[in-house]
Amino acid sequence: MSTLTKILIVLLTISSIFLCGIVVTYVANADNYRQMYDDQIDELNSTKADAQNDRTLFKKESEKYARLEDKLRSEIASLTRKFGDLKATLKIVEAEKDDALRRVNSWAAIVRDFYETTDEHTQLLKNTLAEKIRLEAEKEKNLKELNELTTSLEQKMAVIVMLDEKTKLLLEEKSELQDRLDKLLQPIGKRAVATTPVTPERAIARPIIPETRDIELKGLIKAVDLKNSMASISIGTAAGVKAGMKFHVTRGDDFICDIRIIDVDAEEAVGVLELIQKQKQPKAGDNISTNL
């Protein structure tokens, strides 16, 4: 056998062995690929099933989302309407607030003016009460002096009555003596001459009444306090007003009441209301005059 033939046989043997190995390897790998293919098919089917489930779930979620979107749109529309209503209500409330603030400011001004007027009236009342107390003290003093003068006058009147009685008795005695003297002197043709008193007779003292004239003062009522029966007038000492004067209050041709002055300043005076009528009560602006 030649060398070439041996070499060919060796090569053939090696090739057969190599081919057998390849076949074995292929067969072994063929089973693995089949298994892998089956696994891939199963995985693909599982993936398809999952995809179908996902599509079903997505569809459900999409429908749910659509329902939620419709619901949210409806709620947004409702909230938008409510927001518009609230804006309109807010405008109305702001307008009412502004109106309320204006009214509060107006009432605050009214209350402030009321307190100022009350303070003025309170001060006027205090001054009037002080003047009243002074006048009452003066009145008590005058009453005391009047009582003393009355007592003194009564005593003097009693003395005068007693003196009148004595004078009457003396005149009666004088007349009787005059008659007796005339009877005694008649036989001789004479008569007694009327005696002249050494002390001249005094006439009854009479007070001198000074000549008077009416002073007509006119003005207006400035303020009235009916609760305390007080009023202030627009004229004072500069016009000739004095404490104790009486002013007549008129409105047109109607008589309203009288004012007795108790306190006087330069440009105004305060007095007590008298003869107030229920139907017509005095008020600021009424005319006043010392003469009707």
| Summary mean pLDDT of the chain | 81
Q: Is residue 282 within 8 Å of residue 231, measured between CB atoms? A: yes
Taking only the tens place, the pLDDT of each residue in 215-227 is 689 999 999 998 8
Q: Within 10 A of 272 (CB to CB), how many other CB atoms are there?
A: 16
CB 194 within 8 A of CB 177: no
229 closest CA partner among 111, 113, 132, 112? 132
Confidence of residue 204 (pLDDT cuts 50, 70, 90): very low
**pLDDT band, residue 203 (cuts 50/70/90):** very low
Q: What is the pLDDT of residue 121?
A: 85
Q: What is the mean pLDDT of residues 236-254?
A: 91
Who contacts 191 (Cβ-Cβ below 8 Å, separation ≥6)? 182, 185
Longest dimension (CA), the chain: 256
> Mean pLDDT throughout 233-251?
92
Question: Domains along the chain?
Answer: 218-289 (2.40.10)
pTM score > 0.75 for this model? Answer: no
Does pLDDT of 271 surpass 90? yes
Flag whether pLDDT at 181 surpasses 50.
yes
Q: What is the pLDDT of residue 224?
A: 93
pLDDT at 186: 59
Range with the lowest mean pLDDT among 44-53, 75-84, 169-178, 270-279? 169-178
pLDDT, residue 28, reads 63
Which conformational region is residue 244 in: left (phi greater than 0), alpha (psi within -120 to 50 degrees), or beta? left
Whether residue 191 has pLDDT greater than 60: no
Q: Residue 207: is its pLDDT beyond 60?
A: no
**Section 157-173 average pLDDT:** 81
Q: What is the pLDDT of residue 235?
A: 94
Q: Which of 125, 169, 166 is nearest to 272 (CA)?
A: 125
Question: What is the spatial distance between Cα 102 and Cα 94, in angstroms, rounded to a whole number?
Answer: 12
pLDDT score of 268: 92
Query: Could you give the CA distance from residue 160 to residue 163 in angstroms, rounded to a whole number?
Result: 5
Task: Give the alpha-carbon dihedral of 8, 14, 19, 24, to 10 degrees.
Answer: 160
Mean pLDDT of 54-70: 88
pLDDT at res. 208: 40
Supply the DSSP string of the chain, one letter for each residue.
--HHHHHHHHHHHHHHHHHHHHHHHHHHHHHHHHHHHHHHHHHHHHHHHHHHHHHHHHHHHHHHHHHHHHHHHHHHHHHHHHHHHHHHHHHHHHHHHHHHHHHHHHHHHHHHHHHHHHHHHHHHHHHHHHHHHHHHHHHHHHHHHHHHHHHHHHHHHHHHHHHHHHHHHHHHHHHHHHHHHHHHHGGGT--PPPPPPSSPPPPPP------------EEEEEEEETTTTEEEES--GGGT--TT-EEEEEETTEEEEEEEEEEE-SS-EEEEEES--SSS---TT-EEES--
What pLDDT does 92 receive?
93
Would you state the pLDDT for residue 200?
Answer: 45
pLDDT over 80 (residue 190): no
pLDDT of amino acid 210: 40
Task: Compute the average pLDDT of residues 83-94.
Answer: 90
Question: Quick one: pLDDT at residue 246?
Answer: 93
* Residue 33: pLDDT band with limits 50, 70, 90: low
pLDDT, mean of residues 75-93: 90
pLDDT in tens, 130-140: 888 888 888 88
